Each structure stands twice: as C-alpha cells, then as structure tokens.
Amino acid sequence: MKVAILGYGTVGSGVYEVLNSNKEIIKRKAGVSLEVAHVLDLRDFPGDPVESVLTHDVADIINDPEVKVVAEVMGGVGAAYKFTKAALEAGKSVCTSNKELVATHGSELMKIAQEHGCRYLFEASVGGGIPLIRPIMTALHGDDIVHMKSILNGTTNYILTRMSESGAGFNEALSEAQQKGYAEADPTADVEGHDAMRKTAILASILEGKAVSCENVHTEGISSVTMADFKYARKLHAGVKLLSVIKRENDMISAMVAPFLVREDNELFGVKGVKNASLVRGNAVGDIMFYGSGAGKLPTASAVVADMADAARCVAGLSETKQVPAWTEEPAKVIPFELYESASLVRVAAADEQAARKAFKEIKEVAPLEGEFAFLTGVMTEGVYEKAVSGLNIISRIRVDFTE
C-alpha cells in the first residue's frame, strides 16, 4: 500500500526511516506492507535517499489515487490544515504529530474523516512515542476518569531536572538544554507552557468528549522558578514539575498547566530529563501511569507509523474501526478558574509573617530561608487564595500536589 509523508523535517525523516528500516516487522504485525510513494518538502535533499520520492507539490499526493494513508508532520496550522483537509476529503487517512492543529481543528478534521470514510489519527501529538491517546480512548471504557496528571513537555522537564540535580539556575539550565538540542533557539513555546497547554487541551477534549480549547487551559510556565523554590522543595521531600492537571467533576472539567511541588512518593517525581509521563486515575482501575520518550525523532515517528499501520489495516479490510470523532465541536463545560482548587507553598518577607498568618487561617509553617516566612496553605480555591494574598508581598507561590 502506498503512503506519503508531508514534511521532511525531524519527525518526517524519522517516519521515513522507521517505515523503511522496520518494513518487515510492520508487515508481519499489521498484515500490510507500507511503501513511501511521495515525500513533500519545499527543500531539496541532494544525495539523500528521499530524493527519488521527493515532491514540492502536494497535488502529487492528493491526486495519487493509490496513496491511501498520509503522515502530516509539517507542524503549524496554515498549510498543514489545508493539506490535511484536502487529503481527508480525497478519502485518505491522515496521521499526525501536529498538536497545534489537533488542538485547534481536531473535531472538524475528525468529522471530515468520518464523512469521507477515512480516519484522522494523532497518537503522536501528545506524549511523543508513548501510547497514550489510544489507551485512553479504547482501553478505559469501563472507567470514569477522575483526573489525569501529566508531564507533557520534555524541554521544561529537562530544565527542571538539571536545576534540581546540578544546582544550575534557570538560564544556565536553559542554555544547556539548547546546546543538547532539547530546547529551541526561541524556547518560548516550551518554557511558557504553550506546548503543554495544547497537549492538555487535546487530552481534556478526549476525556470530556467535547471541545476544550487552549483558552480553557490555565497556563503558567517555568521561567519564574528559582533555586530557592528547589531548596524549599527539598525540605518538603518534593521536586518541582511542570504538571498538566485535568480534573473531571460531574460533567464539568478543569485543565491547567503550571509548576507544582510533587512529593518523592508520587510516581511523577521519578520522571526525569526529557521523559514524559501521564498518571490517570479511574474510579475502577485506580492509578495507572504511561511513561516514555515524549519527543524526539524516532519515538515520535514510532507513534505516527503505528497510526499509519492502523489506518492501512482499515483500508486493507483487516480491521474496520469507524472514525467516531473523539470529541465534538460542542464546547465542554469548563469550571471557572476562580473555583480551581489546590494547596500552595507561599513565601513572603519575614516582616509579613503576621499579616500572612492573619490572611490565611490554617497554615503549616515550613523552615524558611533567611529573611523569609514560608508556609503551606490548605486546599482552597483560586478565588479564596487571591483574596487572601491581596494585601501581601508574595516572593513566590507554587502549587503543591500532595493529595493522595
């Protein structure tokens, strides 16, 4: 069966490599042989084996009736959106790692796929190579998912791990991440939590079956996390992680991305470096965790290729799972941010101790750094927290996830 790849960047070249090097094993496991007929990229790659199948014109792919499955690994929401739509409308299944496109146009594209008897699959868009979306969508049908707490961005997890282990400051750890190729020259999307936000919107939409947009995900990055926060974390036998937290209550949902203190006995504490993980709590299954490489050329390609094999099986009649959109365009009922609940570690100047004690009734003191007063609040809503701190000079506040 002929397939095509849109984009020959990091992930695209990984998809090309995996399809070629694992050709035999894919054939044995999926029952279909996948042949790359076209690779779309605007650039030329002289001397690269891809040359023989390279095209600069997407029409070569859309108009090739033998191409049944397309990998969209270009990124962005411009050309990627247009090409994906055209491919689906031509009855070709599209498999993608493009979280931005899935987060913004996912339900529309799944609907188009449904109408045209093909599929829009996006396992690679969240958690890279970790099988996460498919298990959530197919393996937990018996469970009411209570919450999902995840580390979804490898760059920030690497930076936080380095800050914790080597005592490096944020800027130093960021430079190191850039040198190692774990962070981009412009690290904003990772560091400010936008990447994790998009992935969170996708997961929340799946859990709820309705659209949770990026605007619905309260997002804070890690650029204001300091060494002092790590010193406090250690006192509390905890680490600092950029968590994606999705909670479901009745038929409402809350979703946020923010730095959290996570205790040593929490499964997510041990997730180091560029690894990702997702801890899912179901009312029957309890806590289950999915862990692995959340990014990178080959892990991400692995997930794209698994989706391509799945789509190809459907075309070949070996498996026929109708595309049922994982979520509809109907907006999910979102809990207002003022009602989000969490506990926090709060640091104020030593001089503010009495004011802080007055503002927060129940606090748990934490041995402070010099010149500071530090305490854990109880679990409270954002609204109540904001009111309490309104007259205080906060040095820093970091939420804590110490719940059982």
- Residue 26 interacting with a second copy (CB under 8 A): yes
| Residue 364 binds a second copy (CB under 8 A) | no
Burial of 214 (0-12, 13-18, 19+ CB in 10 A): middle
Q: Binding marks (x or -) toward a second copy, 73..112, rule CB under 8 A? A: ----------------------------------------
The reply on whether position 324 binds a second copy by CB under 8 A is yes
- Which segment (85-93, 134-142, 182-190, 382-390) binds a second copy by CB under 8 A? 134-142
Q: Which of 287, 329, 330, 365 binds a second copy (CB under 8 A)?
A: 287
* CB proximity list for 331: less than 8 A, separation 6 or greater: 210, 211, 212, 213
SS3 80: helix
Whole-angstrom distance, CA of residue 303 vs CA of residue 99: 13
Residue 130 CA to residue 295 CA, distance in Å, equals 9
> Which spans in 39-153 are helix H?
59-62, 79-89, 99-115, 133-134
- The answer to the question of residue 143 lying near a second copy (CB under 8 A) is yes
Q: Which is nearer to a second copy, 227 or 285 (CB)?
A: 285
- Report the DSSP beta bridge partners of residue 70: 4, 94
Question: Distance between CA 326 and CA 291 in Å, rounded?
Answer: 22
- Could you say whether residue 316 binds a second copy (CB under 8 A)? no
Interacting residues with a second copy between 225 and 284 (CB under 8 A):
267, 270, 282-284
Residue 169 near a second copy by CB under 8 A: no
196 contributes a contact to a second copy by CB under 8 A: no
Question: For residue 9, what are the CA distances in angstroms to 137, 148, 189, 227, 264?
Answer: 29, 31, 18, 36, 38
CB 353 within 8 A of CB 396: no
Residue 302 sits in the site that holds a second copy (CB under 8 A): yes
**Burial group, residue 17, by CB count within 10 angstroms (0-12, 13-18, 19+):** middle
Residue 127 or 187: the one with the smaller Cβ distance to a second copy is 127
Q: Which is nearer to a second copy, 270 or 378 (CB)?
A: 270
Q: Should residue 146 be labelled a site residue for a second copy when binding is judged by CB under 8 A?
A: no
CB closer to a second copy, 37 vs 222 = 37
Nearer to a second copy, 291 or 373 (CB): 291
> CB under 8 A: which stretch of 109-117, 136-144, 182-190, 377-385 binds a second copy?
136-144
Question: In whole angstroms, how close is the CB of 82 to a second copy at the nearest point?
Answer: 27
Distances (CA, A) of 176 to 28, 157, 172: 42, 13, 6
Q: Rule CB under 8 A: is residue 285 a binding residue for a second copy?
A: yes
Which member of 321, 330, 336, 365 binds a second copy (CB under 8 A)?
321
Binding of a second copy by 318 (CB under 8 A)? yes
Q: Which 8-state DSSP code applies to residue 337?
A: G
Supply 289's token pair. Answer: 């965790």
Smallest separation, CB 73 to a second copy (Å): 13
Nearest approach in angstroms of CB 146 to a second copy is 11
Over the window 201 to 220, marking each residue x when it contacts a second copy by CB under 8 A and - when it does not, the resulting string is --------x-----------
Active site residue 241: no
In the set 310, 352, 372, 382, which binds a second copy (CB under 8 A)? 310
β-bridge mates for residue 94, sequence order: 70, 120
Rg of the Cα atoms in the chain: 23
Q: Find the helix or strand (DSSP H, E) in which 401 lies.
A: strand 394-401
Q: Is 76 helix (H, G, I), strand (E, B) or coil?
A: coil
Between 30 and 80, CB nearer to a second copy: 30
With H, G, I as helix, E, B as strand and everything else as coil, classify residue 218.
strand
- Could you give the count of Cα atoms lying within 13 Å of 49 in the half-sphere of its Cβ? 7
Residues that bind a second copy (CB under 8 A): 14, 18-19, 21-22, 25-26, 28-31, 123, 129-131, 134-135, 138-144, 209, 267, 270, 282-293, 296, 298-299, 301-306, 308-310, 318-322, 324
Catalytic residue positions? 199
